Amino acid sequence: MRPFPEPVRTEDNHGFWDAADEGRLVIQRCATCARWQHPPRPMCPECGSLDQAWAEVSGGGVVYSCSVLHHPQHPAFDYPVVAALVDLDEGVRLVSTVVGVDAGAVRIGQRVHVRFAPTTAGGQIPVFAPEGRT
């Protein structure tokens, strides 16, 4: 598998990508009311607090939905690509991909666990693989 394109870092999401570079999956959590939120943003939609922190999560989750992409193809990716919505055990939904298994074998409800895949700039991004696989 070729390296993934380097993610675009913003003031709001750099904590997520910086942790991924270190092989850690973190999710933004409100320091006032403890609500998880993703994608990262400056204000908690629950309590309005601007005090947001990063908390490491287990990396385990379930495929909520998935689609196998064949076209149109971007030269940065190997096809087919599995586009997956993964519900983390902490209750946060991420857009990601599932690797380490044939694209057609990914199933809704399947247990997955985070892995880290290299990027073109030497960083890492979180991806998911079926639980129990290395």
Q: Which is nearer to Zn ion, 36 or 116 (CB)?
A: 36
Is 47 an interacting residue with respect to Zn ion (CB under 5 A)? yes
Candidates 76, 81, 75, 78; CA nearest to 120 is: 76
Least distance CB 50 / Zn ion (angstroms): 10
Instruction: Decide: 128 and 114 in contact? Cβ < 8 Å.
Output: yes
Helix (H, G, I), strand (E, B) or coil at 15: helix
Least distance CB 120 / Zn ion (angstroms): 36
Least distance CB 53 / Zn ion (angstroms): 11
Q: H/E element holding 52?
A: strand 52-56
Separation CA 81–CA 73 (nearest Å): 9
Is 56 an interacting residue with respect to Zn ion (CB under 5 A)? no
Q: Which is nearer to Zn ion, 49 or 119 (CB)?
A: 49
Is 49 an interacting residue with respect to Zn ion (CB under 5 A)? yes
Q: Which is nearer to Zn ion, 50 or 76 (CB)?
A: 50
Instruction: Decide: 3 and 14 in contact? Cβ < 8 Å.
Output: no
Is 46 an interacting residue with respect to Zn ion (CB under 5 A)? yes
Give the number of other Cβ atoms within 10 Å of residue 1's Cβ.
Answer: 10
Q: Which is nearer to Zn ion, 51 or 56 (CB)?
A: 51
Q: Under rule CB under 5 A, which residues in 6-45 are in contact with Zn ion?
A: 30, 32-33, 35, 44
Separation CA 66–CA 68 (nearest Å): 7
Chain residues in the site for Zn ion (CB under 5 A): 30, 32-33, 35, 44, 46-47, 49
